[in-house]
């Protein structure tokens, strides 16, 4: 029994629950009062109140302070009236928590001191326990209380995207070391991805057990792979993550960038909701994903710089392509860009709600 179950007679059910929220209904492909909206990277540098509370606090340190995590997670909910909160953290937090020496460098991203490239290196990836990430349990406990009926999305990096940072040692355009390992030593690669699947599964379970109502698996860089390689070398690990949390019954969202050719497989890996970037219109994405899944997306985040008329026109385009989908969660096709004017995001939420009110 989790906090996400339908209300019953138990005392815990007397608190308002997000079960009937538009966001969770859309994920379950049920009728909604309006199309729900949230934004990847809705918390972060686009918000002056975020920059203020982050002053003098390093990114990874901020992820380990429950009060600060709570405040940053709530900021975009208060300001934009989005339909869901996303837990403030980073995909590398569970790796840091098991003792990998890494940092998030401003303007660069995660940097790993000693890349993982050999069988001996694998031993550094030990199991993650709930005690390793006690601050996640504590922050989510506080958050679900404050959020009331607004759902909280938990998240993790998918095995491929985590492997890419670990093997390259940092952000990479071509993922050459990662692919060299994948093509050159398939057994070591499979063992590495399996290890990461275990860690990711444990991290998602901590978040769900603490009260997250949905989870998103970010495989941001998986669009670098051809479908046959994805199916053979990556999908088993991502599928393991999805099946490890299936019994909780919370919606599982799967997202990557440049995944037009992979959309069907991203669904097949075990997602209930497939995230789509801006390169494939949602009606075409629905054909590629097939029946039985909701879709999330897919306004180009750069459109938010084009002025109110263009934003409205492109929003209408996304919603028109989403008409007739089994379930649609409105989002950007990737994260909010740091220089985005936050007022455009607030207006966008209101506009989607107005245009889709039923």
Ligand X SMILES: Cc1c2[nH]c(c1CCC(=O)O)Cc1[nH]c(c(CCC(=O)O)c1C)Cc1[nH]c(c(CCC(=O)O)c1C)Cc1[nH]c(c(C)c1CCC(=O)O)C2
Q: How far is the CB of 108 from ligand X (least distance, A)?
A: 6
Q: How far is the CB of 76 from ligand X (least distance, A)?
A: 7
| Binding-site ranges for ligand X (CB under 6 A) | 40-45, 59, 86, 88, 90-91, 104, 106-110, 155, 218, 220, 335
Q: How far is the CB of 91 from ligand X (least distance, A)?
A: 4
Helices 342-356 and 66-80: crossing angle in degrees, nearest 10, is: 60
CB 50 within 8 A of CB 103: no
Q: Is 45 annotated as a binding residue?
A: yes
- Indicate the residue among 44 and 327 with the shorter CB distance to ligand X: 44
Q: Is 132 annotated as a binding residue?
A: no
Q: Is 254 annotated as a binding residue?
A: no
- Indicate the residue among 40 and 348 with the shorter CB distance to ligand X: 40
> Nearest residue by C-beta to ligand X?
220
Q: How far is the CB of 336 from ligand X (least distance, A)?
A: 8
Q: Is 34 annotated as a binding residue?
A: no
CB 274 within 8 A of CB 266: yes
Q: How far is the CB of 123 from ligand X (least distance, A)?
A: 24
Q: How far is the CB of 249 from ligand X (least distance, A)?
A: 22
- Indicate the residue among 260 and 324 with the shorter CB distance to ligand X: 260
- Indicate the residue among 29 and 224 with the shorter CB distance to ligand X: 224
- Indicate the residue among 98 and 188 with the shorter CB distance to ligand X: 98
Q: Is 231 annotated as a binding residue?
A: no
CB 92 within 8 A of CB 64: no
- Indicate the residue among 5 and 171 with the shorter CB distance to ligand X: 171
Q: Is 41 annotated as a binding residue?
A: yes
Catalytic residues: 41, 45, 54, 90, 165
Torsion of CA 244, 246, 250, 254, to 10 degrees: 70
Q: Is 353 annotated as a binding residue?
A: no
Q: Which parts are annotated binding residues?
A: 41-45, 90, 165, 220, 334
Q: Which parts are annotated binding residues for substrate?
A: 41-45, 90, 165, 220, 334
């Amino acid at each position: 029994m989790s906090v996400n179950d339908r209300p019953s007679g138990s005392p815990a059910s007397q608190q308002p629950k997000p079960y009937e929220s538009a966001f969770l209904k859309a994920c379950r492909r049920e009728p909604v009062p309006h199309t729900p909206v949230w934004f990847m990277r809705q918390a972060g540098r686009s918000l002056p109140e975020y920059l203020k509370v982050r002053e003098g606090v390093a990114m990874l340190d901020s992820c380990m302070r429950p009060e600060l995590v709570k405040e940053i997670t709530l900021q975009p909910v208060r300001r934009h009236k989005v339909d869901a909160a996303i837990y403030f953290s980073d995909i590398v937090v569970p790796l840091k928590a098991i003792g990998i020496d890494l940092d998030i460098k401003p303007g660069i991203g995660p940097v790993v001191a000693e890349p993982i490239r050999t069988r001996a290196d694998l031993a550094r990836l030990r199991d993650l326990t709930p005690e390793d990430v006690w601050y996640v349990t504590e922050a989510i406990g506080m958050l679900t209380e404050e959020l009331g009926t607004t759902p909280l999305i938990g998240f993790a990096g998918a095995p491929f995207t985590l492997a890419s940072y670990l093997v390259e040692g940092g952000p990479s355009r071509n993922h050459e070391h990662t692919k060299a390992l994948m093509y050159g030593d398939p057994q070591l690669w499979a063992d590495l991805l399996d290890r990461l699947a275990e860690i990711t599964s444990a991290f998602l379970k901590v978040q769900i057990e603490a009260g997250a109502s949905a989870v998103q698996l970010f495989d941001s860089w998986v669009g670098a792979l051809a479908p046959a390689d994805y199916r053979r070398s990556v999908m088993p690990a991502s599928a393991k993550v999805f099946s490890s949390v299936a019994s909780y019954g919370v919606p599982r969202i799967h997202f990557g960038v440049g995944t037009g050719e992979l959309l069907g497989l991203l669904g097949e890996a075990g997602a209930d909701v497939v995230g789509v970037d801006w390169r494939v219109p949602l009606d075409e994405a629905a054909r590629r994903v097939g029946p039985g899944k909701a879709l999330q997306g897919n306004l180009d985040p750069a459109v938010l710089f084009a002025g109110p008329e263009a934003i409205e026109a492109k929003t209408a385009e996304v919603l028109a392509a989403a008409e007739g989908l089994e379930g649609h969660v409105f989002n950007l096709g990737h994260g909010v860009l740091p220089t985005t004017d936050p007022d455009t995001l607030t207006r966008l939420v209101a506009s989607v709600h107005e245009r889709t009110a039923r």
